[in-house]
């Protein structure tokens, strides 16, 4: 059995099971009521039969025939549950035949049944209408037969009324149960959406996000308070870790800068060319370290989300086009092409950060996509979001590369011979997350295809 695992599926399953249980209970109630009323009719017929047989024994066949004609088609004072349900529904019918089977009394039972009980015996009422009856036949000592029948019309009408009441009750119960189940499902889903939204914000680097609390003191509120306490603790730890990393990088930059200045002075005063070359290589290594610390500090700054204070409405297509044109000469110089297909899109963001993200991706193609790899950039609006795709037709990344390319200091080049510190795409992801967007690798048969999705689009 497949059990639904979604709130919607569980709600539908619960409503369906409730409907089936209620339907089964309703059917059982109708069946039991029907059987009880039918038993009361049978009991009444048996009493009538016993009375008529006793009357025959004491008064003979002729007197019984007169008695049967007098009672045939008459109404009774009620039969058990039918008492008080209306005189026309409680009609009793009789028939009497002699030893040769000739009818001698009673005319409303067209065909005499055999001895014993007969269900649904056709009858004809005094007003000319027809129907069905529950009948009991008995043989008389002189060879004749007496039949007593109870009209089932009252039973049928009682069944109809019970069924109508049961269906109405079933409908009300199903309606209220379904509405309650759907409302409960929506309540649970709304709270789970709030929790998942807070979790998604944390995943995207916004450690200030918290699960909303409505103050009801419900189980969701208690869980939310626990989660918020946990998130607060995580935020404190992450801020401390980030602060330590930033402090180290910042503190290292100052002495490294001084060392670089000293090395430049030493290079100018170098006694020979060989010494000057060695000092120059040292200065180049020093520049690489300074670039690395600058990159780490830049990522930490973006992840701090303080940059959001600078967000304004921006023509995203123009920003992308500016960077594309800035990099076109570099592609042309290497005989590569860079193609851009941009729809006009306006988003909220920081122009410098967005330019830096696009530049990092193009730089990544120039350095790591392989010789002759071309770049294709598209910008479009999909489902209310701006989708920027930066792709190349190079050999792509190793199968085990995947999300690693977005991690700090990760370089898929095992020789680490190409320039860079493995921070370019880490910065891109930090910038995208700061804009509350997402970046992912799009599966492709060739090259690396990166898709950035930024919300809050204003087309045109």
| Structure confidence by residue, pLDDT tens digits, 100-121 | 888 888 878 888 888 899 888 8
Q: Is the pLDDT of residue 98 over 80?
A: yes
Average pLDDT over residues 208-229: 84
Q: What are the two backbone dihedrals, phi and then psi, of residue 276, each rounded to the nearest 5 degrees?
A: -65, -40
Most confident of 150-154, 340-344, 432-436, 455-459: 340-344
The closest alpha carbon to 153, from 213, 221, 218, 79, belongs to: 79
pLDDT tier at 78 (50, 70, 90 boundaries)? Answer: very low
Range among 92-96, 336-340, 408-412 rated most confident: 336-340
Count Cα neighbours of 167 within 13 Å in the Cβ-side half-sphere: 6
Residue 123 corresponds to which tokens in the numbers above? 């009858």
pTM value surpassing 0.75? no
Pick the range with the lowest mean pLDDT from 1-5, 45-49, 300-304. 1-5
Bridge partners, residue 458, by sequence:
346
- Give residue-wise pLDDT tens across range 337-380: 999 999 998 999 999 999 999 999 999 999 888 888 999 999 99
What confidence tier does 85 reach under pLDDT thresholds 50, 70, 90?
very low
What domains are there in the chain, each with its CATH number? Answer: 7-159 (3.30.450), 219-305 (1.10.287), 311-458 (3.30.565.10)
**Residue 91, strand partner residues:** 75
Q: CB neighbours (10 Å) of residue 223?
A: 14
pLDDT average, residue stretch 87-106: 78
């Amino acid at each position: 059995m497949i059990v639904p695992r979604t709130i919607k599926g569980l709600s539908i399953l619960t409503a369906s099971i409730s409907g089936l249980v209620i339907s089964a209970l309703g059917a059982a109630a109708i069946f039991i009521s029907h059987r009880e009323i039918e038993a009361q009719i049978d009991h009444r017929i048996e009493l009538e039969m016993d009375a008529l047989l006793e009357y025959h024994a004491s008064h003979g066949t002729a007197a019984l025939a007169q008695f049967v004609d007098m009672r045939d088609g008459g109404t009774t004072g009620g039969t058990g549950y039918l008492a008080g349900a209306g005189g026309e529904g409680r009609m009793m019918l009789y028939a009497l035949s002699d030893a040769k089977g000739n009818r001698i009394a009673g005319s409303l039972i067209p065909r005499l049944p055999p001895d014993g009980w007969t269900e649904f015996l056709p009858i004809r009422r005094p007003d000319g209408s027809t129907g069905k009856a529950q009948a009991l036949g008995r043989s008389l000592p002189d060879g004749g037969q007496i039949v007593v029948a109870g009209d089932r019309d009252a039973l049928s009408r009682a069944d109809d009324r019970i069924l109508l009441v049961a269906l109405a009750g079933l409908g009300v119960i199903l309606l209220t149960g379904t509405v309650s189940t759907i409302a409960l499902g929506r309540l649970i889903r709304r709270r789970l959406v709030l929790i998942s939204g807070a979790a998604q914000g944390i995943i995207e680097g916004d450690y200030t996000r918290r699960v909303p609390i409505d103050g009801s003191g419900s189980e969701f509120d208690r869980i939310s308070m626990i989660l918020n306490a946990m998130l607060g603790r995580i935020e404190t730890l992450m801020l401390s870790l980030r602060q330590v990393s930033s402090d180290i990088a910042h503190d290292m930059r100052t002495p490294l800068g001084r060392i670089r200045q000293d090395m430049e002075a030493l290079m100018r005063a170098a006694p020979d060319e060989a010494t000057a070359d060695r000092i120059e290589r040292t200065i180049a290594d020093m520049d690489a370290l300074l670039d690395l610390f600058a990159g780490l500090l830049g990522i930490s700054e973006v992840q701090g989300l303080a940059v959001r204070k600078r967000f304004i409405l921006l023509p995203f297509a123009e920003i992308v086009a500016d960077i594309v044109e800035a990099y076109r000469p570099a592609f042309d110089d290497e005989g590569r092409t860079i193609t851009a297909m941009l729809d006009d899109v306006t988003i909220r963001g920081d122009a410098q950060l967005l330019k830096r993200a696009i530049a990092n991706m193009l730089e990544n193609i120039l350095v790591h996509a392989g010789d002759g790899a071309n770049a294709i950039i598209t910008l479009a609006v999909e489902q209310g979001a701006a989708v920027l795709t930066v792709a190349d037709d190079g050999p792509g990344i190793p199968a085990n590369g995947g999300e690693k390319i977005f991690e700090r200091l990760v370089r898929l080049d095992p020789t680490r011979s190409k320039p860079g510190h493995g921070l370019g795409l880490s910065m891109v992801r930090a910038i995208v997350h700061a804009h509350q967007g997402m970046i992912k690798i799009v599966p492709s048969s060739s090259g690396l295809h990166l898709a950035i999705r930024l919300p809050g689009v204003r087309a045109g």
